[in-house]
Amino acid sequence: MFQLTRSVTWQALQGLQQQTADDRIRDYFAADPKRFEKMSLRVGGLFLDYSKQPVSEAVLAKLIELADHSALVQRRAQMFSGDIINVTENRPVLHTALRNLGEGPLMVDGQDVMPEIQRTREQIRAFSEAVRSGAWTGFDGQRIRDVVNIGIGGSDLGPNMACRALLKHRHPELNFHFVSNVDGAHIQKVLSRLDPATTLFIVSTKTFSTQETLLNAHTARRWFLDNAGPEADVGAHFIAASTNKAAAMEFGIREENVFEFWAWVGGRYSMWSSIGLPIALAIGFEGFMAMIEGAYEMDQHFLSAPTAANMPVLMALIGIWHINFQGAETQAIVPYDQALHQLPAFLQQLDMESNGKSVDIFGRPVDYKTGPIVWGQTGSNGQHAFFQLLHQGTRYVPIDFIASLKPEPGMEDHHFALLTNMLAQANAFMEGSAEGGELDPYSCPGNRPSSTLLLDELTPKNLGALIALYEHKVFVQGVIWNINSFDQWGVQLGKRIAGEISERLDAHSQDFDASTQGLLALVRGHFVS
């Protein structure tokens, strides 16, 4: 059976790693004045510069060969056409269908899924327009002023990140709140500022069975009933985005207010489905569709561009170079854009829940590293927090810098400082400090890798393209590593044990390890009378 690490290309890459170990990235620029032009590309409103990565032309050529010799072409076609590529859960993976703007059917299990997608889109349009215009009213006839999304993981991070990123496009009379943590402090703080008569709750949960979300939803409903008075009408204030219509209706949500989606939409890929409803409410249905359009254009690019000019494939290959050949353990995401402050958290789930796997699609242990630890925060804040380690620490940390070019009117000076700081950092990471020369122990060594992604402007469309770009990067890496990027058994294990522990709180269970039993005894004292 094929073994990735025994393949000729993999071994050639190992050889190239040794040959280029002492190379300096800056010397690549000196040797090739056209390096920036060669190692940068544009897709729609996104521009990627990967010339400051430690890849020589020979390395890049081999990485491209790695992709070309992988199952990428086949698996990509399978994903887009609805084949079962989530093999452990026996499902297709069709978030791309949610943003399909092309004509023609898409058959899953002998049924065209496009009419259902369009019907739900229409439901989102009608509902978001009614709330935004004030036509949708609460139990006492007042319009909605606050929207609370209750969800966690993929049912929170995507819409949460997008609503914050696109804040300046938001409806001026609507406020958005996202409650995810099972810690009661989270929902308590949000509810303390709200008026039940003008608040709409969206219970966002694919399964309608996630403990955190259900607990928060029940607390919100209790608060609503306690505070709204005798006219309280749960149906006018609670709606759901879920694949589990029956459970949502049992909760008290009206059938017509359950915004459905389907098992073939993975949680962390679900912001294009009804889970994106808060986005449509915040920026309007046209804005939501513009995001979808941006993602669709990235999908088309991913499907058709040759490997050497395919943005998600190139980003995936550079990541593989870092992880499998250069020994990187982490990937830093540093948006120089305050509106994108939730992007690292979103990408953390997207990447780590998808590619945090150590067996291949046949269940065999892999003998190579897979997904990186993804982390980060906004620049320029990061410069004054963790950049020191990146400049002079002992670790090798690739960085993705992300920024949008267009300044806010009246804030040109801030924006100029923001962008120049980012460029200065990327330059310093590569060049290091020359002052004291290489013999100065306090000089910065440089030769540290980064890519720079520039958005012409942070519009809904460009944000959609940016998210799709990372989704496909993660997918390509999963294909090359031959893992299933679409299951999450580790998360399921945690969910199961949390259920077991809470069921046995009052019994002296010997089923758990001594530490868990000891800690449980301390917890028990506060809950069992």
Residues involved in catalysis? 353, 384, 495
* Site stretch for ligand F6P (CB under 6 A), options 111-119, 200-208, 354-362, 427-435: 200-208
Q: Considering beta carbons, is residue 213 or 348 the nearer one to ligand F6P?
A: 213
Q: Considering beta carbons, is residue 450 or 488 the nearer one to ligand F6P?
A: 488
Residue whose C-beta lies closest to ligand F6P: 267
- Interface with ligand F6P includes 153 (CB under 6 A)? yes
Burial class (CB in 10 A: 0-12, 13-18, 19+), 253: buried
**d(Cα 480, Cα 101) in Å, to the nearest integer?**
28
- Interface with ligand F6P includes 357 (CB under 6 A)? no
- Which residues, at least 6 apart from 507, have a Cβ–Cβ distance to it below 8 Å? none
Tell me which of 155, 331, 348, 462 binds ligand F6P, using CB under 6 A. 155
- Smallest distance from ligand F6P to CB 491, Å: 4
- Which residues, at least 6 apart from 181, have a Cβ–Cβ distance to it below 8 Å? 152, 212
**d(Cα 514, Cα 117) in Å, to the nearest integer?**
50
- Smallest distance from ligand F6P to CB 278, Å: 14
- Interface with ligand F6P includes 159 (CB under 6 A)? no
- Smallest distance from ligand F6P to CB 273, Å: 11
- Smallest distance from ligand F6P to CB 144, Å: 23
- Interface with ligand F6P includes 152 (CB under 6 A)? yes
Q: Considering beta carbons, is residue 167 or 491 the nearer one to ligand F6P?
A: 491
Q: Considering beta carbons, is residue 86 or 205 the nearer one to ligand F6P?
A: 205
- Smallest distance from ligand F6P to CB 320, Å: 24
| Closest of 377, 380, 357, 379 to residue 369, by C-alpha | 357
Q: Which ranges of 284-342 would DSSP assign to H, the alpha helix? A: 285-304, 311-320
The alpha carbon of residue 414 and the mean position of all alpha carbons in its chain are separated, in whole angstroms, by: 28
Per DSSP bridges, beta strands 330-335 and 258-260 are unpaired
Q: Considering beta carbons, is residue 280 or 402 the nearer one to ligand F6P?
A: 280
Per the document, the length of the chain is 529
- Smallest distance from ligand F6P to CB 158, Å: 9
- Smallest distance from ligand F6P to CB 275, Å: 8
Contact 173, 144 (CB under 8 A): no
CA angle 211, 212, 214 (to 5 degrees): 65
Tokens encoding 477: 């890496």
- Smallest distance from ligand F6P to CB 264, Å: 13
Tell me which of 100, 120, 205, 484 binds ligand F6P, using CB under 6 A. 205
* Site stretch for ligand F6P (CB under 6 A), options 1-9, 29-37, 61-69, 201-209: 201-209
**d(Cα 346, Cα 162) in Å, to the nearest integer?**
10
Tell me which of 138, 267, 376, 446 binds ligand F6P, using CB under 6 A. 267
**d(Cα 138, Cα 197) in Å, to the nearest integer?**
6
Backbone angles phi, psi at 202, to 5 degrees: -110, 115
- Interface with ligand F6P includes 257 (CB under 6 A)? no
Cα separation values, 327 from 6, 47, 257, Å: 18, 27, 50
Helix (H) or strand (E) holding 369: none
Tell me which of 216, 324, 459, 488 binds ligand F6P, using CB under 6 A. 488
* Site stretch for ligand F6P (CB under 6 A), options 126-134, 202-210, 315-323, 418-426: 202-210
- Interface with ligand F6P includes 213 (CB under 6 A)? yes
- Smallest distance from ligand F6P to CB 488, Å: 5
Q: Considering beta carbons, is residue 100 or 205 the nearer one to ligand F6P?
A: 205
Contact 180, 171 (CB under 8 A): no
Q: What is the DSSP string of 148-170?
A: EEE--GGGTHHHHHHHHHTGGGS
Name 137's bridge partners: 143
Tell me which of 130, 182, 234, 491 binds ligand F6P, using CB under 6 A. 491
- Interface with ligand F6P includes 274 (CB under 6 A)? no
> 3-state DSSP call for residue 326?
coil
* Site stretch for ligand F6P (CB under 6 A), options 99-107, 199-207, 336-344, 386-394: 199-207
Residues 34-53 that bind ligand F6P (CB under 6 A): none
**d(Cα 96, Cα 502) in Å, to the nearest integer?**
38
Tell me which of 143, 164, 177, 268 binds ligand F6P, using CB under 6 A. 268
| Closest of 254, 245, 196 to residue 224, by C-alpha | 196
In the DSSP assignment, the letter for residue 339 is G
Across 452-470, b (16+ Cβ under 10 Å) vs e yields bbbbeebbbbbbbbbbbbb
Tell me which of 76, 91, 132, 206 binds ligand F6P, using CB under 6 A. 206
> 3-state DSSP call for residue 259?
strand
- Interface with ligand F6P includes 207 (CB under 6 A)? yes
Q: Considering beta carbons, is residue 268 or 357 the nearer one to ligand F6P?
A: 268
Q: Where are the beta strands (DSSP E) in 353-488?
A: 373-375, 399-404, 450-455
* Site stretch for ligand F6P (CB under 6 A), options 83-91, 207-215, 255-263, 439-447: 207-215
State the residues that interact with ligand F6P by CB under 6 A.
152-155, 205-207, 210, 213, 267-268, 488, 491
